[in-house]
Chains A and B, each alone.
Chain A
């Protein structure tokens, strides 16, 4: 069964610290993996996309990694800011005929001053 598991479920860090969020998936066949950021009361917004051939991709202070062999991805946030407080959702797209999207349940990050 296609599944996406995220950990931890929630995380509290101090402003300025780094953190890493994890995403493990069992989706096959794999097309790509996206990380979305969802601010409280808003819709999710795409942060980055990882395809099969990409290992690392950065978007400002956000760095995503992908290990297609172990089917794991991580999102590393450097020098966290209060505005990073949000839920981060991992979504994997299969390359089947319908291009199904499989959602993780998200990690809720709280950055405290």
Chain B
């Protein structure tokens, strides 16, 4: 049972480069979300989706794009990376009823 799978686990970018963090879940959860985790800041919501074709902004959406073409996949795109986007990114999915989040293992991104 894979749960939530994120790739890549580590990535180094130069300022201005673009990249996509991939996220897939096999639990048929409607709700998926992306968080970033920075020291002393806790987990902050970037974007979320309540179902295929539906996305919305979270607390810190600037500099990030998302799309949800299928229930399983929820990629996060950085169009022009900035050093302020250096962080650990977590994808999560959850049931709508209990709200238990199932997290991926995280993607550590460094922007030089």
Contact = CB atoms under 8 A, between A and B. Distances in A.
Contacts of A75: none
Contact of A41 (B40, B100, B106): B106
B90 A43 contact: yes
B103 interface: yes
Contact of A42 (B40, B92, B96, B106): B106
Interface in A18-32: 31-32
A52 to B, nearest CB: 14
B97 to A, nearest CB: 9
A46 B96 contact: no
Interface string B17-50: 0000000000000000000000011111100000
B111 to A, nearest CB: 20
Closest 9 CB pairs of A and B: A43-B103, A105-B42, A93-B99, A103-B43, A46-B100, A103-B42, A44-B103, A43-B105, A43-B104
Interface of B: 4, 40-45, 90, 92, 96, 98-101, 103-106
